[in-house]
């Protein structure tokens, strides 16, 4: 009887200890993070919600930079690169680093384009600030996907190599011999200079697939890259100049397209849905309205055409006899200082802050700047001409007084967002047409943070709308930065056969403690008995 009493007491104490321990539910699926692993797999972009993974999710907010510093730094860097690209010396400007860009690490924002509805076309993604426009290209036998800057001012194509240890390469996807069975290193050196450094490596030969068009060609694989590429999503540059040996000429030689032509539509991020695209072989008629007005090339191997005039609010600046380089790889517009000064004389309240290179303009002006070619005038929205106000409430004009080719203008994306552009290598001409813009209503941006295999993360933004119509229109001003958010949820994963409960873990623990206390009392009573 005494032994039975002791055994009974021990049983009660063990039960009490078990009651004090928190309850851990059983997981039927030991691989409950399969969705996360799938999301992190190579070249997988997922827009599915993350709540089924079972982790608490938080809103993703991109750090807001100083608009003044960001604009100054961007223009200075662009000036350095353009000087190297066009073989001149860059004007002396401040080149201090913007702290907001230094802090970006690899938190890139990518606004994906909608899929084109025509053959031989690919969407043009962008970084959410209208600063860089790029396409997804598949490399090698495995079709590894890399972002490539669309650059009509570049004559060569290169990508970041897997053997590159530069800071920029460690933050991006790269390409190397382990990524393709058809990778062939020619042994030739590759090098190209930029304003803030060089890109160098080897020339290799392998396949490149863009818009469903695949060719094998030589291109550069960089072992060293300039640090400036740490600040942008793209992993290389797709050269689309008029020289031979570009990806486009290889496509034409392979008879994959009828004509050596491509049409470009660049989207303004503030307009909502990114419907930008580049179509090869022929213009996409759905992207423009009315006729295409062509101007013949006068520059040999560069996409440059004669420009008739520059206007502000319909008034002529008296600029004539100039050549204009049409460059998709450049964000802003640049011109000879005297020409640019004549333009800003037409802008009430404008003034130069650095001897005619940069001009401040009224933030509330709705007047437009326009450029004339072959008797046709093409208008750039005031929202593209005028920058967003900086911290001091000052706005700048996005036409800068810097001359990279003597007597020539350089028209970049600030202008090209407003027209449909056609680059015709066969007939050596450039055409412009009025854009057929998709106007969206009830458009709500959404974001998904995606982690690449090397641990870097990219925020992919998309937009959804409930109604669309086709017509001409002008979008709103693009912001310096964008904010992408993931669903603000904290849903916990439950096993497929479990029943959800509203009882909290704290309540369960409190009940267990009470139960243990009662058992201990009964244990003491049994000892006395």
Provide the annotated active-site residues: 151, 327
How far apart CA 435 and CA 440 sit, in angstroms, is 15
DSSP string, 419-463: EEEEEETTTTEEEEEEE-EEEEES-EEEEEEEE-TTS-EEEEEEE
Q: How far is CA 182 from CA 70, 245, 251, in A?
A: 42, 20, 18
SS3 state at 245: coil
Task: Quote the radius of gyration of the chain (alpha carbons, Å).
Answer: 30
Euclidean distance between CA atoms 176 and 202, whole angstroms: 11
Strands 333-335 and 399-401: parallel
Please report how many Cα atoms fall inside a 13 Å half-sphere around the Cα of residue 100, on the Cβ side.
16
Q: 3-state class of 331 per DSSP? A: coil
Beta-carbon neighbour count of residue 406 at 10 Å?
9
> Any bridge partners for residue 352, and if so which?
359
> Residue 191 and residue 87: Cα distance in Å, rounded?
15
Q: Which residue has 């960089």 as its token pair?
A: 222
Sign of CA dihedral 63, 65, 67, 71: negative
The kind and range of the H/E element at 85 are helix 67-85
Q: Which residues pair with 305 in a beta bridge?
A: 324
The two tokens of residue 381 are: 């929205």
The string of DSSP letters for 358-398 reads: -EEE-TT----EEEEETTEEEEEPHHHHBPPP-TTS-EEBS
E-strand ranges in 70-142 read 108-111, 121-123, 125-126, 133-139
| Distance of alpha carbon 475 from alpha carbon 108, whole angstroms | 24
Q: How far is CA 146 from the centre of its chain?
A: 12
Give the three-class secondary structure for 205. strand
298 φ, ψ to 5°?
-125, 15
**How many C-beta atoms surround the C-beta of residue 465 within 10 A?**
14
Total length of the chain: 529
Q: What residues contact residue 119 under an 8 Å CB cut-off, 6+ apart?
A: 212
Token pair of 508, please? 């369960």
Q: What is the dihedral of CA 488, 490, 496, 501, to 10 degrees?
A: -130
> Are 235 and 146 spatial neighbours (Cβ–Cβ below 8 Å)?
yes
């Amino acid at each position: 009887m005494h032994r039975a009493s002791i055994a009974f007491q021990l049983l009660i104490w063990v039960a009490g200890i078990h009651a004090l321990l928190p309850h851990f539910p059983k997981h039927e699926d030991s691989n409950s993070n399969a969705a996360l692993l799938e999301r992190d797999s190579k070249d997988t972009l997922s827009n599915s919600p993350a709540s089924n993974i079972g982790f608490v999710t938080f809103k993703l907010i991109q750090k807001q930079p100083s608009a003044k510093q960001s604009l100054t730094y961007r223009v200075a860097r662009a000036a350095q690169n353009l000087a190297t690209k066009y073989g001149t010396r860059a004007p002396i400007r401040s080149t201090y680093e913007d702290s907001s860009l230094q802090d970006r690490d690899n938190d890139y924002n990518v606004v994906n384009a909608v899929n084109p509805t025509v053959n031989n076309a690919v969407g043009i993604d962008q970084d959410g600030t209208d600063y860089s426009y790029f396409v997804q290209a598949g490399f090698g036998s495995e079709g590894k996907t890399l972002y490539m800057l669309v650059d009509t001012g570049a004559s060569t194509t290169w990508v970041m190599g897997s053997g590159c240890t530069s800071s920029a390469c460690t933050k991006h996807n790269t390409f190397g011999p382990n990524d393709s069975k058809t990778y062939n290193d020619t042994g030739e050196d590759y090098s190209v200079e930029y304003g803030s450094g060089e890109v160098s490596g080897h020339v290799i030969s392998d396949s490149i697939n863009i818009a469903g068009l695949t060719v094998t060609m030589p291109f550069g694989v960089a072992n060293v890259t300039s640090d400036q590429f740490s600040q942008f999503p793209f992993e290389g540059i797709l050269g689309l100049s008029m020289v031979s040996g570009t990806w486009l000429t290889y496509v034409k030689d392979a008879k994959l397209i009828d004509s050596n032509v491509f049409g470009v539509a660049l989207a303004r991020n503030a307009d909502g849905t990114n419907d930008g695209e580049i179509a090869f072989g022929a213009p996409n008629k759905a992207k423009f309205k009315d006729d295409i007005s062509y101007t013949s090339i006068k520059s040999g191997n560069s996409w440059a055409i004669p420009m008739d005039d520059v206007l502000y609010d319909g008034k002529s600046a008296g600029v004539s006899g100039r050549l204009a380089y049409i460059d998709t790889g450049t964000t802003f517009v640049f011109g000879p200082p005297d020409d640019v000064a004549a333009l800003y004389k037409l802008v009430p309240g404008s003034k130069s802050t650095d001897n005619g290179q940069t001009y401040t303009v009224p933030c509330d002006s709705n007047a437009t700047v326009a450029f004339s070619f072959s008797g046709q005038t093409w208008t750039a929205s005031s929202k593209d001409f005028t920058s967003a106000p900086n911290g001091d409430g000052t706005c700048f004009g996005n036409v800068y007084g810097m001359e990279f080719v003597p007597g020539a203008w350089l028209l970049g994306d600030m202008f090209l967002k407003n027209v449909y552009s056609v680059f015709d290598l066969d007939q050596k001409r450039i055409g412009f047409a009025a854009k057929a813009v998709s106007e969206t209503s009830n458009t709500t941006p959404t974001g998904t943070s995606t982690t690449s295999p090397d641990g870097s993360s990219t925020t992919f933004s998309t937009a959804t709308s409930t109604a669309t119509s086709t017509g001409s229109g002008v979008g709103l001003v693009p912001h310096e930065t964008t904010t992408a958010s993931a669903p603000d949820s904290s849903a916990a994963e439950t096993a497929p056969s479990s029943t959800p409960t509203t009882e909290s873990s704290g309540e369960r623990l409190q009940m267990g403690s009470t139960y243990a206390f009662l058992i201990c009392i009964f244990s003491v009573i049994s000892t006395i008995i």
